[in-house]
Amino acid sequence: MRILYHIGRFGILQRRVFARPEKHKILFTNILREMDKLGVGSILIIMIIMFFMGAVVTIQTALNLENPFVSKIIIGFATRDSIILEFSSTVTAVILAGIIGSNIASEIGTMRITEQLDAMEIMGVNSAGYIILPKILGMMLMMPFLVIIAMSVGILGGLAATYVIPSLSAQDYLTGLQLDFSAYRVFYSLIKSDVFAMIITMVSSYHGFYAKGGSLEVGKAGTLGVIYSIILILIANLFITHLMLT
């Protein structure tokens, strides 16, 4: 019964979030602000993580394919597909759920307990729409760019790893990258990433928006936002993959 209560309340909140905004100009400004805060602010950490992840995936793939009957170019091929299909979108989303999710839940939770959201409501402003909608749209606009950056840096990380793998040359890796390339897989990853962006922002905002009590509860809201975002990302990943790749 508790889960039905949360689903119902989540639905009511989303109805308020997607209600007609007070002023489109203010919404546009707020979207740009959120794109900068949530998206641009995450680029560096994603680049660092994906570079090392790409390198590790290449090393592990090379280790598992040490067979004279298997062509070395398969390593580049496997690394590329792992990064494009899974690591760039799902792993990036899980990382962002941790970074951005807790940030969003804490920010909105603090606004709730310090009565800033009530102050907006009293003025006649739809606080849910004003605060949450720019975050959802801003993150959805930024996420595909973040994923493309993650893909590029991850593949570069793999290339860098070829310099420490004696059995794999950079040329083999680069040839493998171009083997049987399908743009649809990039498209699939980008679609997935936008769904993940929605999940992270909506779920974290929900936990922040209904935070009660003091700073301890705000921290708890942040943690819950991250946990449920990650669980829903993994479930959504399964459904989208089944829908688009099988």
Partner 1 sequence: MIEVRNISKTFADNKVLNDVSYTIKKGMCNLVIGRSGSGKSVFLKSVVGLHPVDSGEILFDGRDTTKMTNIELKNLRKEIGMVFQGGALFNSSTVEENVAYPLEMFTKMSKAEKQKRVDFCLDHVHIENANHLFPSEISGGMQKRVAIARAIALNPKYLFCDEPNSGLDPVTAIVIDNLIQDLTKELDITTMVITHDMNSVMEIGENIMYVYQGQKWWEGDKKQIFNTDNPELNDFVFASDLFKSIKKNK
* Contact set with partner 1 (CB under 8 A): 22-23, 26, 110, 114-116, 118-119, 121-125
Is the backbone of residue 187 left (phi > 0), alpha (psi -120 to 50) or beta?
Answer: alpha
CB of 234 to partner 1, least distance (A): 33
Amino acid letter, residue 26: I
Rounded least distance, CB 18 to partner 1, Å: 15
Query: Do residues 188 and 245 touch, judged by C-beta distance below 8 A?
Result: yes
How far apart are alpha carbons 75 and 223 in whole angstroms?
A: 38
State in angstroms the smallest separation of the CB of 90 from partner 1. 31
Residue placing its CB nearer to partner 1 in the complex, 53 or 117: 117
Closer residue to partner 1, CB minimum distance, 32 or 122: 122
Give whichever of 116 and 167 is closer to partner 1, judged by the CB atom.
116
Residue number, 22 or 66, with CB nearest to partner 1 = 22
Minimal distance, residue 177 CB to partner 1, in Å: 43
Q: What would the DSSP string read from start to end of 112-155? A: HHTTHHHHHHHHT--HHHHHHHHHHHHHHHHHHHHHHHHHHHHH
